[in-house]
Amino acid sequence: MTTGRKRTLTLRDVSEASGVSEMTVSRVLRGKGDVSEATRLKVRDAAKQLGYVPNQIAGALASQRVNLVAVIIPSLANMVFPEVLRGISDTLDGTPLQPVIGVTDYNPEKEERVLYEMLSWRPSGVIVAGLEHSDAARAMLVAAGIPVVEIMDVDGEPIDACVGISHRRAGRLMAEAILENDYTRIGFMGTKMPLDHRARKRFEGLTERLAKGGIEIADQEFYSGGSALAKGREMTQAMLTRTPDLDFLYYSNDMIGAGGLIHLREKGARIPHDIGLAGFNGVELLQGLPVQLATMDACRREIGEAAAQIIAKSCAEDREDAAGERIELQPKLTTGDTLVRGS
């Protein structure tokens, strides 16, 4: 159930929740003064439960905002997010709003820390990747009293507004293309899914639709860290050594897919006649390859643009929320040279 927007929390709220004076709360949260450890823990626990973030704008009223938009993403190394940031930046250009970037490395605890620091400066809005957050992070976003737009995903319950694609639907669309081309022995390679919720949802959509067609994943492998291109080559070689009768490989992103494509071409595989393959994200960098990898566009730039438009509109209308807007964009399958047999 969607949680409604709340008024901005104050020191008094933390004082009442912890049972100590506002002055003591202020000392604890500023790390100043002689306060017992037991009292510090009591105040910090109360603040965390409430989702309270101290205001670090010196001398400002608690309700004052700065013209910053906190943009919180999992990675700058992942080639997906620069396009999202470009869409946000271009859309906010010409408005008083300025994006400020925080990176979480797909780590829920780091997301809490990044949110805490960025919200303490009282931004005008938050754009954050994903719908899954820790209880503490969710509490901070709910209590912030500003527009919040969660991006990249619509498969879940947003805090306020969300913009993205259905990754489960993307997985189903890829499965339908695989079935239409009569592939039956499927291998899957991707990132470790407890940290990458969107890759997990695509995998779920893929396997559910394949199962309806009477097909199960024959082999799968997951990785974390290191060069995606090199990992794609390594995992493809290992998987085909282990399960040599595979006739299709689906990769959770284009970069490991490109690594797999390079390995298969080195081995002289006839693609897609002997084996087909596909990735995800529609990374423009790979358009220079001699063989075009089948992929699916995740609407990255459009997501950034739409999220920034929601924030800018909410700020222009002086609203404390983004009106619960939900925008689902449609991923587009590009078959390239590696999916359609007979091509």
The predicted-structure confidence for 135-161, as pLDDT tens digits, reads as follows: 999 999 999 999 999 999 999 999 999
What pLDDT score does 78 carry? 75
Residue 164 has pLDDT above 90, yes or no: yes
Is the separation of the CB atoms in 146 and 322 below 8 Å? Answer: no
- pLDDT-wise least confident of 59-63, 219-223, 286-290: 59-63
Beta bridge partners of 276: 248
- If you search the block for the tokens 């973030």, which residue do you land on? 53
169 — pLDDT class (breaks 50, 70, 90): very high
Mean pLDDT for the stretch of residues 58-77: 76
Q: What is the mean pLDDT of residues 14-18?
A: 91
Q: In this model, does residue 280 exceed pLDDT 50? A: yes
Residue 114 CB neighbour total at 10 angstroms: 21
Q: What φ, ψ does residue 321 adopt, rounded to 5°?
A: -140, 180
Range 51-76 burial, b when 16+ CB lie within 10 A, else e:
bbbbbeeeeeeeeebeebbbbbbbee
pLDDT (average), residues 230-239? 96
pLDDT band at 56 (very low <50, low <70, confident <90, very high): low
pTM, to two decimals: 0.84
- Structure letter (DSSP) for residue 130: -
Residue of 267, 77, 87 lying closest to 191 (CA atoms): 77
What distance in Å separates the CA atoms of residue 223 and residue 235, rounded to the nearest whole number? 9
What is the CATH number assigned to the segment(s) 11-23+57-165+301-328? 3.40.50.2300
Model confidence pLDDT, tens digit, residues 323-337:
899 999 999 999 999
**CATH 3.40.50.2300 domain range(s) in the chain:** 11-23+57-165+301-328, 167-297
Task: List the strands of the sheet with 98-103, edge to edge.
Answer: 98-103, 68-73, 125-129, 148-153, 161-165, 326-328
pLDDT for position 4:
56
User: Poorest-confidence range of 4-13, 17-26, 320-329?
Assistant: 4-13
**Beta pairing, strands 148-153 & 186-191:** unpaired
For domain 167-297, the question of CATH label 3.40.50.2300 is answered with yes
